[in-house]
Amino acid sequence: MATRLRTAHTAELAPAELRAVRALLQDAFDGDFGDEDWDHGLGGIHALVHDEQGLAAHGSVVQRRVLHQGRSLRVGYVEAVGVRPDVRRTGLGGQVMAALERVIDGAYALGALSASDDGAALYTARGWQVWPGRICALGPAGVVRLAEEEGTTFVRPAAAGPLDAAHELVFDWRDGDVL
């Protein structure tokens, strides 16, 4: 199966391409991919894999901020990773992640993502590590612990070097699923 990988900023994607990405994600997430999920994946760099049938896989990396040990770190946050059901487990998710990891390693202090049970194996195999400490967000009313995200949030240290799990990661707030 011949594939073609393309990376592009959201601003470089034509409306038809964005519609194709949204349709792919709706299908990949069995219809459980809402407007806020879509919004979270926009504004950054997209990795798109095409095959003979069209768009086969997608992921994006967007900038977020995380507070850790008194520092505000620029984070490449991975969003909207999905593979067309008929080509799952063929390496396309790995192609998407390799492209996004190049962006993270070159432009951010660290990478982060929140993994589904189905996606966790892909990230673990690529060297991403489950964050062993507390996960929080800086919400409208202050710092809020996100205990439900603990154990499913993965990090990829880049320029920031090692992180200290004794100190929480405090992510910036956003509507919908914060992580």
Degrees (nearest 5) of the Cα angle 3, 118, 43? 60
Q: Is the pLDDT of residue 150 over 80?
A: yes
State the sign of the Cα–Cα–Cα–Cα dihedral 12, 115, 160, 69.
positive
- State whether residue 93 is helix, strand or coil: helix
pLDDT in tens, 82-105: 999 999 999 999 999 999 999 999
Going along the chain from its start, the domains and CATH numbers come out as: 4-172 (3.40.630.30)
Question: For the whole model, what pTM was predicted?
Answer: 0.95
Look at the chain and count its residues. Answer: 179
Q: Are strands 110-114 and 71-83 parallel, antiparallel or unpaired?
A: parallel
pLDDT in tens, 58-88: 999 999 999 999 999 999 999 999 999 999 9
How distant, in Å, are the alpha carbons of 10, 12, 49, 93, 133 from that of 149? Answer: 27, 32, 29, 22, 10
Residue 29 CA to residue 10 CA, distance in Å, equals 21
Q: Write the burial class of residue 86 (CB in 10 Å: 0-12 exposed, 13-18 middle, 19+ buried).
A: exposed
pLDDT in tens, 117-147: 888 999 999 999 999 999 999 999 999 999 9
Residue 167 CA to residue 13 CA, distance in Å, equals 38
**Residue 122 backbone phi and psi in degrees, to 5:** -60, -50
